[in-house]
């Protein structure tokens, strides 16, 4: 048996003949009436979710859900076929039993069959799964609160927000800066000599991406400028080019671009 005071997310128990697992739980202490436990529950068999309040100290039958490694094979209409990795037995589950895993279910990938009293009652995916991005759209301009992410559609059809790597932002910023006349190249402030960055420069060298606590994007660019260039004009053009390129190509709002001229290139 398990007491309601011991309810935690993931706890499985039986109530009114139903197998339930706790999604989240809140223990509320009342001055006179004792404690009340409010929980969001998932029906393990059909996937339905509902809320329930419990009295402190109530007891329910604890259940043990076993997990068996398996491989997802294919689906046939509303039936999804898996193969037990140990016994090689195949089992077909209906759509309601795989509903939670369905958006990230890919043929050939690993999963866990959930078993109770030798019967398969559902399926659970690993903590992480590898899926290809089939399509991405521009991020929402001005949406700095959500961070550097873009909406994407996975190969399974699921829609998610995927992070934009800092290297991608830096590469676009560096390309935009190099288009400005007078910019000899991107500089690496950590390089000891001018020749160092010329030898080992990558596409995003010379750009530092900073995401502040509000998820706004700040860029710092380190330039090598030609000796005949007007530094102020070059810096202003670089700022404009970088903001336009990042916002156009990624749909992300750039809060700030700081330009530093860390070296001067003289004619050979």
Residues 120-149: b if buried by 16+ CB within 10 A, e if exposed: bbbbebeeeeeeeeeeeeebeeeebeebbb
pLDDT at residue 200, rounded to an integer: 43
Tens digit of each residue's pLDDT (9 = 90 or more) over 130-179 = 888 787 765 544 444 345 677 788 899 888 887 777 888 888 999 999 99
Higher-pLDDT residue of 134 and 76 is: 76
Q: What pLDDT does 191 receive?
A: 52
Q: For residues 91 and 81, is the Cβ–Cβ distance under 8 A?
A: yes
Stretch 221-245: mean pLDDT: 93
- Class of residue 50 by CB neighbours under 10 A (exposed 0-12, middle 13-18, buried 19+): exposed
121 pLDDT above the threshold of 90: no
pLDDT averaged over every residue in the chain: 84
For the ranges 68-72, 141-145, 172-176, 255-259, which has the lowest average pLDDT?
141-145
CA distance 187 to 194: 8
Q: Does the pLDDT at position 243 exceed 90?
A: yes
Pick the range with the lowest mean pLDDT from 28-32, 148-152, 194-198, 237-241.
Answer: 194-198
d(CA 92, CA 83): 9
pLDDT in the model for residue 25? 92
Task: Give the number of other CB atoms < 10 A from CB of residue 17.
Answer: 5
Higher per-residue confidence, 21 vs 239:
239
Q: To the nearest whole percent, how much of the chain has pLDDT over 90? A: 37
CA distance 253 to 244: 9
Q: What is the 3-state secondary structure (H, E, C) of 26-72?
A: EEEEECCCEEEEEEEEEECCCCCEEEEEEECCCEEEECCCEEEEEEE
What domains can you pick out in the chain, each with its CATH number? 2-62 (2.30.30.30), 66-124 (2.40.50.140), 135-162 (no CATH), 166-265 (3.30.70.1350)
Percent of the chain with pLDDT over 70: 88
21-59: pLDDT as tens digits: 888 999 888 766 678 899 999 888 777 889 999 988 889
Burial 227-255 (b: 16+ CB within 10 A, else e): eebeeeebbebbbebbbebbbeebbbbbb
* Confidence class for position 198, pLDDT limits 50, 70, 90: very low
H/E stretch holding 159: strand 159-163
Q: Is residue 202's pLDDT more than 90?
A: no
Beta bridge partners, 25, equal: 39
pLDDT of residue 166: 84
* Residue-level pLDDT at 242: 94
What residues contact residue 209 under an 8 Å CB cut-off, 6+ apart?
A: 166, 169, 170, 173, 217, 218, 219
């Amino acid at each position: 048996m398990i007491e309601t005071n011991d309810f935690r997310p993931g706890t499985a128990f039986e109530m009114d003949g139903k197998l339930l697992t706790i999604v989240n739980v809140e223990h509320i202490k009342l001055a006179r009436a004792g404690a009340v436990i409010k929980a969001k529950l998932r029906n393990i068999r059909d996937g339905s979710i509902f809320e329930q309040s419990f009295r402190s100290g109530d007891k329910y039958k604890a259940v043990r859900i076993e997990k068996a490694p398996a491989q997802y094979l294919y689906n046939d209409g509303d039936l999804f076929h898996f193969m037990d990795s140990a016994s090689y037995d195949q089992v077909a589950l209906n759509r309601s039993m795989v509903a939670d895993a369905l958006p990230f279910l890919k043929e050939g990938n690993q999963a866990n069959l959930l078993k109770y009293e030798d019967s398969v009652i559902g399926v659970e995916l690993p903590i992480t799964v590898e899926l290809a991005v089939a399509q991405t759209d521009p991020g929402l301009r001005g949406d700095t609160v959500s961070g550097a992410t873009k909406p994407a559609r996975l190969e399974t059809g699921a829609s998610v927000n995927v992070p934009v790597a800092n290297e991608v932002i830096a590469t676009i910023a560096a390309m935009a800066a190099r288009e400005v006349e007078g910019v000899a190249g991107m500089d690496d402030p950590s390089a000891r000599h001018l020749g160092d960055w010329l030898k080992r420069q990558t596409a995003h060298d010379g750009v530092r991406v900073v995401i502040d606590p509000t998820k706004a994007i700040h860029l710092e660019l380190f330039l090598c400028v030609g000796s005949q260039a007007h530094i102020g004009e070059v810096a202003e053009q670089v700022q404009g080019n970088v903001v336009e390129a990042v916002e156009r190509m990624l749909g992300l709002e750039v809060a700030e671009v700081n330009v530093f001229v860390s070296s001067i290139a003289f004619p050979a």
